[in-house]
Amino acid sequence: MAGIVLSVKPEELEAEVENMKAYLKTLKVHFDAISDKMKNTSYYWRGDAGDSDRIEFANAARTFDSIYVSLAKQPDKLLQIAGIYKSTENKIDSMNDMLITDIFV
Is the pLDDT confidence value at 56 over 80? yes
Section 43-59 average pLDDT: 94
Is the pLDDT confidence value at 62 over 90? yes
Of 67 and 6, the structure prediction assigns the larger pLDDT to 67
- In tens, the pLDDT along 2-13 reads 676 668 788 888
Is residue 46 exposed (0-12), middle (13-18) or buried (19+ Cβ within 10 Å)?
Answer: exposed
pLDDT-derived band at 47, boundaries 50, 70, 90:
very high
Which whole-number Å values give the CA distances from 100 to 89, 92, 94, 96, in the listed order?
19, 14, 12, 9
